[in-house]
Structure 1
C-alpha cells in the first residue's frame, strides 16, 4: 500500500474535507483520493460504493467552482471508491472561495501570490505580458543591442510592438525588464573562500536591464572562470568552466525565473564549481524528468525568451539543459541540477586539465577559484580521508601542479 503524498490521499469516510484536495489537484496536477481506506492505510470499507460515488459527485458539483474534470471508479469487491481529479485549464479552482495546493500529504490554501499566478494561468497569460507599473521607460541598452545584433537602426514603437514590449495598454513587464532602469531584482555574484563563512568577493545589482545583467555575468565569468596558462612562449586561455555551459545556465536563470518575487539570481563560486540559482521552481506543465532531459520547454516568460532568441543569446528554445550537458562531454566532469519548489540550481564543476587520480583532480578543482586551503579544509571540501588527501597533495606538489604556502600547521596549498 502506497503512503499518502502529494498526489495520493486516503479517506475513511466521505466528509467535505476532501474537497480541499480536489481543488489542489485541479489547480496543480492530477491526483487520486481513495475512499474506504484510513489514513494509516488500513481498510475502512464503504457501506455502499455506488451511493458513495453519487455523494462524492454531488459534493464536487455543489462546492468546487469552476467544475473540475474528474472520474469515479467504484470497487464493489473491496468496497472502495477511487476519485481521480485532472489538472484543469480554467484555474483557479476554488472551494468556498479559496484555492488550495498540496503540501506533501496535506492540502492548504494558497497565498496571494500563488493565487495571482493561478489566475494568469487560467487566463492563458504570463507575467511578462502584463502591463508594467512603470511606463516612463528608456531603452538605450536595448537600442544598441538591437543595432549590433539585428542591424535595427531605430527602436521605435513598431519595433517594440513586434517584440511584444508594447501594446495598446502601454509597456509590458517584458519591456520594463529590458529597460535601462526598472524596479526588478537582479543578480548576486559571490565567491566563497575556504568555507561558506568566508566571502572572498561579492557584488550585486538590481533595477537594471536584464541585458546589462547578462553582460555583467559574462564579465564575472571572464574574471573568475578563465585563466591564462603560460606554455613555453605561448599564453593559453583556459576555461575553468565551459563558456557555453555558463552562458546557457545564466540565460536560463534570468529568462525562466519568476519575476514576481523580490529575489535575486545567485551566481556563486564554491568548492570548485559555479552554481547558478534562479528563483522559482518548475513551471506548471513540466516534470522534473522532462526538465533534466530537455524534452519539453514550458516558457514562463515567453516574450523575454523570444527576445533573447532573436538576439541569438538563446540558440533554440528548450535546448538549454542538453547544451549544458554537451559542453562537458569531453571532460571528466558532469554538471548537476537541484530542483526545489521555490528555486532551481545548476552546478557547473571546474574542469581541470590535470590527468592524475580523481582525488588529485578534485583537489585541483577546489583550488581553481584562487583560494588557499589547508589540508583539513581540502579534506572537507573534497570529502576525502586524511590519508587520501595527503597522498594526493604530495603527488600534486611533486608534479608541480600545487605548491605549499607557509610552514607546519599553518601550511596551506594553492595552484602553482
Structure 2
C-alpha cells in the first residue's frame, strides 16, 4: 500500500510529508520510505494560527478559517509528495492535522482538537484519508498521546538492553520498551526555548538556531528552580500535555521581576528541557535513548541531555543512526498508524495511553474510488522493519 503520512507538530512551523510503501509480511509491518518533503506554513497563516493558540480567545469564524486553510496546506503537501514520490497516485493519506488544543483536567484528557479539514486532502489526491487519530483513544479513557508509542514499540523490539525512544518537538515525549512498555509526554521540548527566543527577538526568530543563544548564556538557578516546581513533572504516567500549559505566557509568569539577559533565559529553559527529560526517564533505567525531532538539531540541548543521561548510564543516540532520519519519524509513524486503521487494526497501546482497551484509530474520508477495508490479518503485527 502506498501511503503518505502528514504531520505538523507543536512548533507550528511546517507540514512534513513522508511517502512510504507499507505491507504486512508474516508478523511484521515492512516499511520502505519513498521520500520526504516539508512545506512551511505561509507567514500569514502561521501568524494567525499562533495568535489563536491558548491562552487566546477566538471565535468560531477563526476556527473555520484555520480549519480550511490548514486543510488546504496539508492537501498541498500531500499532493506534492504524491506527485514526487508516487507519480501522482497513492492508496491512502494519513493526516495527523495541526493540534490547536489538548484538553487536560486533573490529569485526565477530556478532548483534543486537530485542525486541517481532510476533505481538501481527499479532493487534491483522490485518495482516502485517515485523520483525527487521537479522539478514539480518548473516548476509550486514554490520553490520546503519545500515539507514536506503538510505532516505537514495534520498531525497537529486540534491541539489546532497554531502549527508549524520545521525540523532542515543541513538547517532548518518550516511549520506554518493557513488559509492558510505558509512554508519556515529559514536558516542554522546544516550546519554552522557542518562546524565549521569539520574545528576545521581537518575533524575528522562532527558534534557537544551532543552540547559539543558549551556548552564550548562563543557567539562572533561581529561574530554573521556579520552572522545576511545575506540578506536571510530578505526575505519574500515563500523562500528556501541550502548549495549553507550556507557552510564552507561562514563561513570562515565572520570570523574575529583575530582567535577565535573553541568553540566560534561553540557556535556562534549554537546561530545563534536558533536566526534565532525563529525570522522567531515570526511573525506567534505559540503556539507550534514541532521539528524533527538531530538538536534535540543537547541539547545546543535545550536549546537556547527553550529560544528564550519562549520569544514569544511558547512551544518547539519534534515530538517524538506526536508519530512520529524525525529521521523517513522526510523519512516518502516522503513515503506519493510517495503514493499521485501513486494515482494521488497533493503533494505540493501552499500557502507554491509559485507555481501557486498544482501538482502531481515526476517522475516514473516502477518496474518489471509495474505500473498502482489506481483510484483517489473523494476528496483529509484532515487528516493524525498515527496508532500503
Same-fold status (TM-score > 0.5): no
TM class, shorter-chain normalised?
under 0.3
- Specify which structure has the higher proportion of helix: 2
TM-score computed with the length of structure 2 as normaliser: 0.24
* Larger RCO (CA under 8 A, 6+ residues apart): 2
Structure (1 or 2) with the larger CA radius of gyration: 1
TM-score computed with the length of structure 1 as normaliser: 0.22
